[in-house]
Amino acid sequence: MTNPDPKLYRPCAGIMLVNASGSAFVGKRIDTKEGDWWQMPQGGIDKGEDSGDAALRELWEETGLLANKVRIEAQMARELYYDLPGELKGKLWKGKYIGQRQTWFLARLTGDDADIDLAAHNPPEFSAWKWVDPEILPALIIPFKQTIYRAVLEEFRPLI
């Protein structure tokens, strides 16, 4: 994609959370009706919110992890864009955006697995979670986001 108009894309922050052994966190979205799709924590950036603060807020909302249980190790130098597939355009985000522009962070879990609590936020966003080999991340995400996951993995692979 060349020179996308940022105003057409919902600002979003995501976190690739890894543990001490280099496995990546993925959660199974509760609202996914079809397919067995998993994703890393991510979500919208509120107006006036810093992307790093948004990433940590989304991490807490989706995993229950407090900021003192993780260490941010890197931020991607560029935003990543994706377009919604045709059947979702005009339906998500009240039709205001045609996709998302995402800022991604690499974070390392400094706490324990027991600190993860999917029910910490009401309503929960994930129904299950697991640690996976980062190399399989693109295969776990819904197909229209696979390019994003490949770019995140490529950027953060040396740091994992």
Domains of the chain (ranges; CATH) run: 6-159 (3.90.79.10)
Tell me the pTM: 0.93
List, in sequence order, every beta strand (DSSP E) within 7-157: 9-18, 24-29, 38-39, 42-44, 70-75, 80-83, 99-109, 126-132
Residues 46-90 pLDDT 10s: 999 999 999 999 999 999 999 999 999 999 999 999 988 877 776
Local confidence band at 1 (pLDDT 50, 70, 90 cut-offs): low
Peptide bond into 123 cis (omega under 30): yes
Residue 91 pLDDT > 70? no
Percent above pLDDT 90 for the chain: 78
